[in-house]
Each structure stands twice: as structure tokens, then as C-alpha cells.
Chains A and B, each alone.
Chain A
Amino acid sequence: MNKNRKELNTAEKNTWCPGCLNFVTLAALKKTLRKLADNGEIDLGSTVLVTDIGCGAKVYDYINVNAVYSLHGRVLPVASGIKAANPKLTVIGFGGDGGTYNEGMNHLIHSSRRNAGITMIVANNRVFALTKGQPTATNPSSTGKPIDAIRLANDAGATFSARASALDTGNLENVLETAITHKGFSLVEIVQPCLIFNNDIQEMRKEAEKIRAAGIPKPKARPVWEEEIRSGLKPK
């Protein structure tokens, strides 16, 4: 197929703020995809990236793979439909904390429960940045208790749910690799500052150290949705 696709970069103009940590995440994701493709663990031609909207979603334009730019909060049902229709595809969702934990939380809980073989990457900067900095459900300054989505997904049945930091690239790449190669639902939350609206970088450095010290959780095995929904069906 397209294992030898040389270029993961696109010619699209990057419109993130200078110095945005999204650049780190984008580089880590491309590096991980390249490594997995070179090792024969994924086929880039059969890889589909499904994005939310907003700052993080712009990876849609910046990585040269099949991609769907979906709706706010709806990455997971779109990704689930793709995986259901064609289990051979490697399906990676990419969104923010606002889309995944505010708008689309219902889908995160049910995707964890279903355990479809998809990876959901959430860039968590604790704000709705593109609408100028309103707090999301993970922001301590928002009304109510901040959400710990890793714990929540784990309780709901996600078979791999891990936090990483954009300030620790090595660990981030390891977590992404574990998630994408895991057979089952993976949630990867990337903790990162927003340089404009939530720039508590010192605090996040401490958090990055804590994340590294805690180590990467071991993925669990459980039947995957795309196989369960086919079980007993006459092949079409």
C-alpha cells in the first residue's frame, strides 16, 4: 500500500501561535507514526486521523494521511463509525479538552465502555483557546470540580488510558506508541499550557515530572467493539 510514503508533512501554512506546544505534539505524533510504519506495525495508507475543531484540530491539515475534520465533540462517534465499517484501518482521533470532555463527554464514556480499537488523543490546555480562553471542565478555575478524564475513562472501561505532557517529548512518544499499537480503546491526554490564555508553565513542568515518575500504565485486554458487532453476522 503506502508504507513508503516519504512525506508526512504537508504544504499547508501552520497558523498556530509562535511557540505553541501543539508543535511539539504534532512532531511527536508524526515521529511515532513514522516509526510504527517503518516497523511495519501500521500502514500509513490505511491510517485515518479524525479531528475535532479548534486549535488542535488543525493537525488535520498538517499531517499527510487520510483525515476527517469532524464536528465539535464528535470525533469519537465518527471514528467509531469508521472502525466499525472497516476494522483494518488504524483510526486516531485528535481533539481538545473542550470537545472531548465538555461537548462530547457522553461519547468518551460510551467509547470507553465499547472498547473500539481507536486511539483518542486529547490536547488538554484547560481552555477553549480559539474562542479566547473560556475555561473547560479540566480547569480548576471553572465552576465545579475539575474532571479527571483518565480516571473516568478507566472506570468506564477504557483498556488504555494515560496522561502525557507536551513538556516531556520522550515520554509522550512512548505513550502515543503504546496507545496506537494497543488493540482496544486508548485515551491519551496531553497536558500542555496555552501560551496565551493559560500559561502556567512552571506548574506543568512539575506535572510532567510526576507523570514520568508514575510510568506508563499497562494496557488491558478485553473484546473489541468492531469484532463484537460482527460476531455471528453472515459475512457480507
Chain B
Amino acid sequence: MRKTVVFTGEAGQGIDRTAVIFGKITASLGYSCFIYRDYSSLIRGGHNFSVATFSREPARSHDKKAHVIIALDPKAALAHKSSLHKRGAVFSAEDAKREGGSKHAANNILLGMLAKHFSIPKNAGISAIRKEFGAKSAEAEKDFDFGYSKDVPRSDFRAEKAGARREVSDGNKAVMAGALDSGVAAVFYYPMTPATGVFAKLEETKKETGVIVEQMEDEIAAANATIGASYAGVPSMTGSSGGGLALMGEAASFSGMAELPAVFYAAQRMGPSTGVPTYTAQGDLKFVLSMGPGEFPRIAFIPGDIEDAYRATREAFYFSAKYRMPAFIISDKHIAESYSTHGALKSPLPKIKPLTARAGKNYKSYSITENGISPGIAPGGSQIFRATSYEHDEYGHTTEDPAAIKRMNDKRLRKARTLEKELANFPGIFVFGKGRKTIVFAGSPKGAVLDALPSLKGWRAIQINRLYPFPAKELARNLGNVPFHTTENNATGQLASLIREATGLKADKSLLRYDGRPFTPEDIIDFFKAR
């Protein structure tokens, strides 16, 4: 049984934080929870909301229909009335006043009322509040306690202890953890929603982590400084969204040509152009795969949830460093900013060590090798280290000789084939459930698709984990001659197009959503049930 609570009000009222605290309370009791944030591009006022769905069974997405509305702005409740279940409850800030309460008294009083509504043990709420507010929690605890002591309508769902405590994170945190565990040493960025979250978290923690995190004058500077740091021998990262990422195209190509590793965090938002800044989409799949002029190999992972985001980040750093090419983590607003319970964040890959200046005599930056990889060094030793955007010979000296051009091009492209071979040991796709008919997706529709699957008899789902190198053989082998559909957060079916290009297989139909909103399980069920 899934239960859903909508938290709504004006920007600046702490809606998101209150929803996350509620999620953490349910997670501490062993429930699975997912929190979707819906907010406009403004700082104060407006109408924002967060949707928290929790369940004993995995909750990897939020539901359309709510059982409770928590209205920090009483007017805001009206907008959600139509999505409230029959017999659903509405708790409004008007019912949550306490003499001498804290600044956000209503938020915590409402949390207390909500906990009472679901029969959540009081101490679970108090300890989550204590964790959240630390030394300043006394008043907030009193507020929660006050709310909990109120006589509120009770749900038939009694949320008592259901299992071991679970962790709650957003995708941003998973990417940050992945970058830190990979050994990132330098991060350069320029703020843009929704990519900013990762960089803001890295800024907040830099004193303890020792990572250089700098905001540059623009995305072009951020990407080129990242490549500069990479030349100096350290794992480095940049990233942006939509238009900001577009400004990094030339640098991506530079990374590919100069063979200086760089990790690009590509967090999609609704486009084109400025688009809808705080809303989600998967409209940049083909763009990220072709970002930058010329032909050069790259790596592109497309995580679907928190654990995927961590693993994709580890893999992006590892393969970028090993193969000396740009790597992209294709995320989106829905993964970046939604919170959910998750399992252990883990990867078998080692941490990357900064390069040293040690090299044998007659070192060549672009040595022609069978596997295409030319080992890098750091500058500062007895050997000269050259890196260049111009076509070059093995020493990195400029060339325009036709044979030399072809030879170096072949060498770079050989890296892609070597990479494909190594990646055969890493899953390119994940198969969920059993059925004759298949839903194929990549990235953030994962939660809604997997939560819908138990209601779709005869259907299974395949997640594509990587867009470059595309897991063509693996996918074709699994699909066989079974008809398949794609589920994508874009208007033109880019994933279906990529599948067809890589495998020759054509999707029967695509379920496309391109209104800036992520899929809910209801969307998936409604579309596929009748097919």
C-alpha cells in the first residue's frame, strides 16, 4: 500500500525541507519513500509543492493522487484538491498555530499532526527533527510535540516500525559522493539549474574534503579550467545544464582531441533554449552524444536512480582517466533534485590517483599503441608533456600531413573499441520482470516504470545504462524479436532513435511526456495496460 502526502505553499516557506524531514521519518521506520519537488523559477511567493510517497514495498516514484495535503499556505491547498483521494485529509497552517512557536512553527506542528495521522511513533519524529536541526532543535521539537498532541483524523494506515532504518538522498548528493570517492581534486563550474546542486554541495564541503571548487566567469571558462587541471594531472570535473552545457561543446572536443580526461555532469532540464528552468526533461540525449565538433570517442552514462547516479559517477571518472577522453553523466532535474531511500552506494572501481611527472626517456604524449591509449603524465619532470587541440604527431607537435592525421585519428578511435571490450564486463542494460512485451527506458523514468510494472501483466522493462558506447549487442540479444516500446521524457523519441541507429530495431511506439513533469506510475499503467 502506497501513501502519498503533498506539501504545498509559497517559495521560502520550507516546503521542500519539511517534505524531506517527513521522508526521513518514514525511512527511519524502514519504509521506502520518494519525494518529488515541483517549484517555479522564483525566490519568494508563487505556488510550490513536494510530493512524498512512502510504502513498505519499494517506492521509487511519486503518485498522482494524494492521501493528505499539508498546506503551509492555505490558498495553495485548493490547487491540489482535485488530486486528493476521497476521504483524504487536509492539514493547513491555519490549524497549526502555537503561542511562542519557532520561526517555522507551522511546518513542525504540521509534521506532528501528519505523524499522528499515520500513527507514526512520536519518538521517530522527534529524533528526525533533532537530527535535522541539531543544537537549535528544542523549539522545533516542542512544535512537533504540540502538533502530535492535537486531535487529528487518523488514517487507516498505521505506520509503525516496518524494518531497518534507510538512507535518504537526492541525486545531487549521490553524484557528489561518487566524485569524492573517485578522488576528484578540482571542480570548476558556473551555476545553472538543475546542475548547480552538485556544485553547491561540493562548495559546502570543500574545507573538509580539500577539493578545489571554484565558480568561474562562465561555462566556457569552467570547462577549460577543468581541462587545465586535468593537464596538470588531477581528476577534475565540470558540468552544467541545457544552454550552459552547449557553451562547453568546444571544450568537450578539446578534451577528446588533446586526450585530457574531463568529467562533465550533464543535468538536463526542459528545453529548448532557456526552456523551463526548474522542470525536467530528457531532451538532450542526442545533444550530449554529439556535443563538440569533430569525431572523437566519449563515454556517456545515464543513471536512473540514486544508486545508479553514484555508480555512473564512479565509472565516468574511472574510464575518463583510463581512456583519456571526456565522460558524461547524463542526469536530469528529476534525478538531481528528487529524494529517495536507497541501498548502499558502491562501486568496485578504485580511486584515481593524480598523475606523476615520472616518465621514461623519450616520452611521447600521444604514443601510437595497439589499444589506442597513450599513457599521460603530469608536467614538472624531466620529460616534456605536450597536449594539443591541433592535430599532432606522437610527441604532440603540430602536423597537417595526411598520413599522420589519419594515423592519430585511428589511434583515438581505437580507444573506443578497447573501451567497448572492457565495458562488456559492466552491465549496459538491466532487465526487470518477465513478460513478452517490453518497455525500454533510460534514466529517470526508471522509478515510475518499475513501480508500474507489478500492475502490468505480461510486460517487462529494460533499462539502458549507457548511451556511449551504446550497449547494442546486449540490447539486441535481450530484445530478440519481441515488440518493444520506449518511455521517454522528451517529445521526439530520442532513445527510440538511438536504439534504431545502434541495433536496427524499431520501437512499436513511444510513450512520450514533454510537459516538464516526470512520469508517475499512473501514466505508465494507463498507457501500457491496454496494449
A234 near B209 with CB under 8 A, answer: yes
What residues on A are CB-neighbors of B206 within 8 Å? 233
**CB within 8 A of A81: which of B228, B250, B390?**
B228
Complex Cα distance, B379 from A45, in Å, reads 7
B232 near A71 with CB under 8 A, answer: no
How many residues does chain A have at the interface if contact means C-beta atoms less than 8 Å apart?
A: 45
Complex Cα distance, B384 from A46, in Å, reads 9
B384 near A65 with CB under 8 A, answer: yes
B386 near A67 with CB under 8 A, answer: yes
* Contact of A64 with B384 at beta-carbon distance under 8 Å, contacts A84-B186, A106-B218, A107-B217 already known: yes
What residues on B are CB-neighbors of A2 within 8 Å? 381-382
What residues on A are CB-neighbors of B217 within 8 Å? 106-107, 109-110
**CB within 8 A of A45: which of B209, B224, B381, B386?**
B381
What residues on B are CB-neighbors of A147 within 8 Å? none
Q: Is A175 an interface residue (CB 8 A)?
A: no
Q: Name which residue of chain A comes closest to B235, CB basis.
A: A85
Complex Cα distance, B384 from A2, in Å, reads 10
Q: Is A79 an interface residue (CB 8 A)?
A: yes
Q: Would you give the shortest CB distance from A234 to chain B, in whole angstroms? A: 4
**CB within 8 A of B186: which of A81, A110, A235?**
A81
Which residues 78-93 in B have Cβ within 8 Å of A in the complex?
none
Q: Is B233 an interface residue (CB 8 A)?
A: yes
B207 near A232 with CB under 8 A, answer: yes
Q: Is B27 an interface residue (CB 8 A)?
A: no
Q: Would you give the shortest CB distance from B284 to chain A, in whole angstroms? A: 22
A81 near B387 with CB under 8 A, answer: no
Complex Cα distance, B105 from A199, in Å, reads 75
Q: Is A196 an interface residue (CB 8 A)?
A: no
**CB within 8 A of B397: which of A10, A78, A230, A233?**
A10
Q: Is A138 an interface residue (CB 8 A)?
A: no
Provide the A1-17 mask, 1 if CB < 8 A to any CB of B, else 0: 11000000010100000
B388 near A68 with CB under 8 A, answer: yes
Q: Is A177 an interface residue (CB 8 A)?
A: no
What residues on B are CB-neighbors of A106 within 8 Å? 217-218, 220-221
Complex Cα distance, B234 from A86, in Å, reads 9
Most B CB atoms within 10 A — which of A1, A65, A70? A70
What residues on B are CB-neighbors of A77 within 8 Å? 216, 220-225, 228
Chain B at the A interface: SS class: mixed
Q: Would you give the shortest CB distance from A89 to chain B, in whole angstroms? A: 6
A81 near B225 with CB under 8 A, answer: yes
Q: Would you give the shortest CB distance from A5 to chain B, in whole angstroms? A: 9
Q: Would you give the shortest CB distance from B66 to chain A, in whole angstroms? A: 45
Q: Is A183 an interface residue (CB 8 A)?
A: no
Q: Is B422 an interface residue (CB 8 A)?
A: no
Q: Is B378 an interface residue (CB 8 A)?
A: yes
What residues on B are CB-neighbors of A71 within 8 Å? 224, 250-251, 254, 389
* Contact of A81 with B226 at beta-carbon distance under 8 Å, contacts A68-B231, A71-B250, A233-B207 already known: yes
Q: Is B77 an interface residue (CB 8 A)?
A: no
Q: Is B455 an interface residue (CB 8 A)?
A: no
**CB within 8 A of B207: which of A78, A81, A234?**
A234
What residues on B are CB-neighbors of A53 within 8 Å? 389-390
Q: Is A69 an interface residue (CB 8 A)?
A: yes
A107 near B207 with CB under 8 A, answer: no
What residues on A are CB-neighbors of B234 within 8 Å? 85-86
**CB within 8 A of B390: which of A65, A69, A230?**
A69
Complex Cα distance, B236 from A65, in Å, reads 24
Complex Cα distance, B230 from A235, in Å, reads 19
What residues on B are CB-neighbors of A1 within 8 Å? 380-382
Complex Cα distance, B495 from A94, in Å, reads 44
**CB within 8 A of B229: which of A45, A84, A88?**
A84
What residues on B are CB-neighbors of A234 within 8 Å? 207-210
Provide the A86-104 mask, 1 if CB < 8 A to any CB of B, else 0: 1011000000000000000
* Contact of A84 with B225 at beta-carbon distance under 8 Å, contacts A2-B381, A77-B216 already known: yes
What residues on A are CB-neighbors of B226 within 8 Å? 81
Q: Is A186 an interface residue (CB 8 A)?
A: no
What residues on B are CB-neighbors of A110 within 8 Å? 216-217, 221
B212 near A233 with CB under 8 A, answer: yes
B231 near A235 with CB under 8 A, answer: no
Q: Is B246 an interface residue (CB 8 A)?
A: no
Which residues 389-403 in B have Cβ within 8 Å of A in the complex?
389-390, 396-398
**Nearest 6 A/B pairs, CB to CB:** A81-B228, A81-B225, A85-B232, A69-B388, A77-B224, A236-B210
| Known interface pairs A66-B380, A69-B388; 8 further A-B residue pairs with C-beta atoms within 8 A, sorted by A's residue number | A45-B380, A70-B224, A81-B224, A81-B229, A81-B236, A84-B212, A110-B221, A233-B212
25 contacts between A and B (CB under 8 A): A1-B380, A50-B228, A60-B386, A61-B398, A65-B384, A66-B385, A67-B384, A69-B386, A69-B390, A71-B251, A74-B220, A74-B251, A78-B224, A78-B227, A81-B186, A81-B225, A82-B232, A84-B225, A85-B212, A86-B232, A86-B233, A86-B379, A106-B218, A110-B217, A234-B208
